[in-house]
Amino acid sequence: MTAIARRLGPIVAMTLAAILVSACIVDTTGPSPSPSPSTSAMDSGAPSGNASETASASIEVSPSASSGPSSSAVPSPSTPGVACVVKPQTALLFSDRVVSVKVSTSATTDFVTFVFDVGSLTPAGPPRGNLATATPPFTDAASGLPIDLGGAHAVQVRFTGMSLSNDAGEPTFTGEPDIKTDLPALKQVILYDASEGIAGWYIGYDGNGCVGLVRDGNDITVTIAHS
């Protein structure tokens, strides 16, 4: 062995030892775990929780449409044995000329319909109608004579701003001024005033049913529920 070989021998041995030691080292850390789907969703800003719950929370429920006159015209019957309080009511009229009165009934309600025709060219003012409780004594406005009104209860329907005659001076109202019936609730409808732009009726009825005033197309209808 030459002198150079003797000098390189220890260096080679140390190098081989280092290689062997490094080959025996075991990596115990393992690969980095990949993020779970839930962690990834939260990190990405995706909403958590049940999807249907999230969707329902964002729904805005619109209020239901109000029912029209056809369904709201009939008041609910009052509690049996308890009189339904009549609330004063006011309605705008189609015209200033009421021409007739019609009565009718259904399985639950009696009706008094005031029929209106085309209004005058020069109305005295905005025609209006109102409903209120009427109490005896009942009298005729023109003569002052008493009115024996049928029925245990009464309401008054009063129209103002009315044209009581046409351009020819003829009465605009040509209907029956005194109607007596034997309907379940309604008993009588009588005209008690027709002067100075006022047309007024008394309505007598039996029972404890609720009474209402509604606009029915161009006409005005008083509804009386059967008790």
Q: How many whole angstroms separate alpha carbon 199 and alpha carbon 112?
A: 15
Structural domains of the chain ordered from first start: 78-225 (2.60.40.3500)
Q: Which stretch of DSSP H or E encloses residue 12?
A: helix 3-24
Residue 27: per-residue pLDDT: 43
Residue 75: per-residue pLDDT: 59
Task: Tell me the three state secondary structure of residue 124.
Answer: coil
Task: Tell me the three state secondary structure of residue 65.
Answer: coil
Q: Which stretch of DSSP H or E encloses residue 211?
A: strand 211-216
Residue 40: per-residue pLDDT: 32
Residue 52: per-residue pLDDT: 34
Residue 82: per-residue pLDDT: 75
Task: Tell me the three state secondary structure of residue 57.
Answer: helix
Instruction: List the chain pLDDT tens, one digit each, 227 residues.
Output: 444 444 445 444 444 344 433 443 434 344 444 433 333 333 333 333 333 332 222 222 222 222 333 434 555 555 666 779 999 999 889 999 999 999 999 999 999 999 999 999 888 789 999 999 999 999 999 999 999 999 999 999 999 999 999 888 899 999 999 999 999 999 999 999 999 999 999 999 999 999 999 998 899 999 999 98
Residue 83: per-residue pLDDT: 75
